[in-house]
Chain A
Amino acid sequence: MTRGGGRGRAGGWGVVLTLLLAWLVLYPIVLLVVDGMHGDALRTFAARSGEWHALWASVWISLASVVLAAVIGVPLAFLFEWFEFPGRKVLGSLIALPAVLPPFVGVIAFLFLYGESGFAARFLQYLFRFQQAPWHLQGPGAILLVHAYSMYVYFYLFTRAGLARLDAATLEAAQALGASRWRTLTRVTLPLVRPSLAGAALLTFMTSLGSFSAPYVFGGGFRVMTTQIFASKQNGEMSVAMVETVALALVALAGLALLRRTEGDAILAGLGKGTAPRRRALRSPLVRLTTTLAGWGFAVLLLLPHATLILVSLVPYATWTTETLPPVLGLVNYGRLFAEPERLEPLVNSLWMAAASTAAAVALSLAAGWLVVRRRTALRRVIEGLLALPWALPGTVFAVALATAFSVSAPLQLRWVLVGTVMILPLAYFVRNLPVTGRAILAGYRQLDPALEEAAASLGAGPWRTLRRVTLPQLKPALAAGASLAFVGALGDFVTSILLYTYRNRPISMEINAALRVNEMGVAAAFGVVLMVVSAVVLGIGARR
């Protein structure tokens, strides 16, 4: 809606924002490629078979995670969207619970639950009088177990959303044309929800490709690319780490390009305006009972990690050795968490870094929303692309890229030494937050009727008052959703933190890691519970309408 002078001014701001985003998001990647791609490191990388194994492991683990997550999530979505049975509503909301467990916290909960000295193993030992733990939770199987648990949620939520958008009349039309249930499902329903399935597959693939916590804790000798990069960096082989990072980035981009192509036309879902199919009650009592029992059983399975975490957090140090269940329970660990300044500090660190990085990402996304949607700046596609870029690359890639970019002092190249300072970690969180806040806020802006802002202007409100009184209140749901997701992501982050933290700004996840190393399971779990509760509360606030 701007013309003449207005467009010129917006154009100027568009350039400023584009340059800022390019410096934050693109420049570190470019530097990583430029600095990393030199002969010696490349040769070292190519000559080691371990590197190729790790790269292949990353790919197949990610593909297997997609399959597993789909196998669990898609049928569940159909069950909850199409059928009515006792407890459907309660179970339907419980089923998204893995989302409140930050990846690393989920992993340690699995360790406490299914690890060789976890509850499950102890219980079986007790039951069958085994001399040793019945299994080792290690290797690809363990990683896939964690991935399936935490990522089926994507398929579940996406498929449900896709099914809810279906027009019942389309399915009725297929049946009226003589199609059997099976044919309707394969020829009509599934093609129509294909964009949702492809979206979930993409998200699962990218998440497991970037997954670090599970392979870090359960990998053992089995390396994927993210843990390989971390190991190289720990060994001081920064140049090899950079080549590995570029390789991982290439795999991510290839996966993104391939999966995008299968996404197809989003138009398919938006065709009809009808109502979703009505839920069918399960008639046969036997089927009803089985479904309900299976549903509740599944819910218990989902909640076990949360319960385990809480239980372990109540176990004082060195009071639980060979017993099946911990003999002593108390709040000692929580007391230490909040009473010892050494332990309280990481909590404060995580909170301020998550808050600051989220606030910055929200502010930048708001500016982007205004320029892209309202002013329709000529650079809008570039801005949107830059905002989404950190999502397309695993967290490890960004951490290494930022570490490369900000390890030298060259103000003329816009590079400063930030590595080893307190600032690098919140900066990394901030960049990682941009896709989430950007997506939410741009979508919110697009749904906002421009006439509302014009109405405010015609009533005498200047730009600031319009922003404060009309735009921001209208964007509140989008802001809350984007900000809460970003905050929770930064708060529970493990992969970026482990590569970039310093002692002075060590976040909760590093403290958990440290506690695990010295076998202070209770303290680690207590930190995990704190993260879980804060995440749940923040996500709850963010999802409120």
Chain B
Amino acid sequence: MGAEGGPFLVLDELQVRFSDTVTIGPVSLTIERGEILALLGPSGSGKTTLLRMLAGFERPDRGHVRVEGEDVTPVPPARRRVGMVFQHYALFPHLDVGENVAFGLEGREGGKGKGEAVAESLALVDLAGFERRKVQELSGGQQQRVALARALAPAPRVLALDEPLSNLDPSLRERTRRELRQLIKRIGITAVFVTHEQEEAFDLGDRVAVLNAGRLNQIGTPEELYERPANLFVGTFVGRANVLRGAAARALGAADGQVLLVRPEQLRLGAGGAGLSGVVAERRYTGAAAFFQVTLETGERVEVQAAPEAARVGEQVSVAATRTMCFADQGG
């Protein structure tokens, strides 16, 4: 299987047009075997459409999807072998947990028994013995795991997850994220998931593809995206950032016509001296550090991360940058 040694999953120039104003793509990207890729972007950026084209629910107007070198673009979802976890799980309410998980195993004879395969899948997601439970009786977290077990049971080649954690309580999300990553890594399946939350993308994905307005803006590891964003959108969408233009930007080293991006932890507070001067307008304490809103003399407001006792509200301070990123200003 896949002896060519090329990338495991290839999206090649995928494009779909919904209307005169809304076009997704063309988008190209490759994913290695066993890798977890996050598709990150604001709503309407095309990330879900891309996932649905991968799973076969959306037919691209142009471009191809290749798995292990095989072009699966014309293959209908039923024969594509892409397991899908839906945003609201889409568990069959008229079937119990065991029947839900067994659904993808029907019509496949031979090998081990169906019941055994179901039990195995459920054990994988820590729901051993849940076969006869009704899906409505399960908690949100359990439903999510049933959806995962159901998607994994027929042994798909790729696992696609549409906002897999958005339906969970915030308190549950972080733990579920880690468990989900461990599980996917243990099985070794190649996975693509959609999210609009940067933290989730960073925690769960090996690499992250950032989409905006139907276009792929950047793909890379979390570090690459955070430290070396390809453009202003990626810089501001991934992590907190101050965006400065004009005099304030030039004072921190930007050229004319450039926009300057600086992260709160890359700014320092000092008492007078070099840098931009301003007044602390607000202080938000978070334990290890505090975020200071500083109103600059030029009128802009910047956020600075510093030690909690670095300054007080109303205090005159100077702000200096340890590192900045400059981009050509596209206006706006």
Q: Within the assembled complex, what's the spacing in Å between the Cα atoms of A2 and B61?
A: 11
- CB proximity to A under 8 Å, residues B75-101: 76-84, 86-88, 90-94
B77 touches A457 (CB 8 A): yes
How many residues of A are in contact with the other chain, CB < 8 A? 24
Is A470 positioned at the interface, with any CB of B under 8 Å from its CB? yes
Q: Within the assembled complex, what's the spacing in Å between the Cα atoms of A476 and B93?
A: 12
Nearest to B74 among chain A residues (CB) is A5
Q: What's the least CB distance linking A280 to chain B, in Å?
A: 33
Question: Known contacts being A3-B16, A469-B103, A474-B93, is A458 close to B61, with CB within 8 Å?
Answer: no
Q: Could you say which residues of chain A place their CB within 8 Å of the CB of B90?
A: 449, 451-452, 454-455
- CB proximity to B under 8 Å, residues A460-478: 460-462, 465, 469-470, 473-474, 476
Q: Could you say which residues of chain B place their CB within 8 Å of the CB of A2?
A: 59
Contact of B94 among A6, A455, A456, A473 (CB under 8 A): A473
Is B140 positioned at the interface, with any CB of A under 8 Å from its CB? no
Q: Could you say which residues of chain A place their CB within 8 Å of the CB of B81?
A: 460
Q: Could you say which residues of chain B place their CB within 8 Å of the CB of A462?
A: 78
Question: Known contacts being A451-B86, A470-B92, is A459 close to B154, with CB within 8 Å?
Answer: yes
Question: Known contacts being A451-B90, A454-B77, A456-B103, is A4 close to B61, with CB within 8 Å?
Answer: yes
B92 touches A458 (CB 8 A): no
Is B249 positioned at the interface, with any CB of A under 8 Å from its CB? no
Question: Known contacts being A456-B103, A469-B103, is A451 close to B154, with CB within 8 Å?
Answer: no
Most-contacted residue by chain A among B61, B80, B83, B104 (CB, 10 A): B104
Q: Within the assembled complex, what's the spacing in Å between the Cα atoms of A462 and B91?
A: 18
Is A318 positioned at the interface, with any CB of B under 8 Å from its CB? no
How many residues of B are in contact with the other chain, CB < 8 A? 32
- CB proximity to A under 8 Å, residues B23-79: 55-59, 61, 76-79
Q: Could you say which residues of chain B place their CB within 8 Å of the CB of A5?
A: 59
Is A176 positioned at the interface, with any CB of B under 8 Å from its CB? no
Q: Within the assembled complex, what's the spacing in Å between the Cα atoms of A63 and B87?
A: 51
Contact of B84 among A3, A455, A474 (CB under 8 A): A455
B77 touches A458 (CB 8 A): yes
A457 touches B78 (CB 8 A): yes
Nearest to B153 among chain A residues (CB) is A459
Question: Known contacts being A452-B92, A474-B94, is A460 close to B86, with CB within 8 Å?
Answer: no
Contact of B88 among A449, A461, A470 (CB under 8 A): A449
- CB proximity to A under 8 Å, residues B117-163: 150-151, 154, 160
Q: What's the least CB distance linking B259 to chain A, in Å?
A: 38
B84 touches A461 (CB 8 A): no
B83 touches A461 (CB 8 A): no
B57 touches A459 (CB 8 A): no
A458 touches B59 (CB 8 A): no
Q: What's the least CB distance linking A176 to chain B, in Å?
A: 34
Q: Could you say which residues of chain B place their CB within 8 Å of the CB of A459?
A: 78, 83, 103-104, 150-151, 154
Is A267 positioned at the interface, with any CB of B under 8 Å from its CB? no
Is A47 positioned at the interface, with any CB of B under 8 Å from its CB? no
Q: What's the least CB distance linking B34 to chain A, in Å?
A: 21
Is B107 positioned at the interface, with any CB of A under 8 Å from its CB? yes
Is A90 positioned at the interface, with any CB of B under 8 Å from its CB? no
Is A286 positioned at the interface, with any CB of B under 8 Å from its CB? no
B94 touches A458 (CB 8 A): no
- Chain B residues with CB under 8 Å of chain A are 16, 55-59, 61, 76-84, 86-88, 90-94, 103-104, 106-107, 150-151, 154, 160
Per CB-CB distance, the 6 closest pairs between chain A and chain B, nearest first, are A459-B104, A451-B90, A458-B84, A457-B77, A455-B90, A473-B94
Q: What are 22 residue pairs bridging A and B, where the CB atoms are less than 8 Å apart in the complex?
A: A1-B57, A451-B86, A452-B90, A452-B92, A454-B84, A455-B150, A456-B92, A456-B103, A457-B78, A458-B77, A458-B80, A458-B82, A458-B83, A458-B84, A458-B151, A459-B78, A460-B81, A469-B92, A469-B103, A470-B92, A473-B94, A476-B94
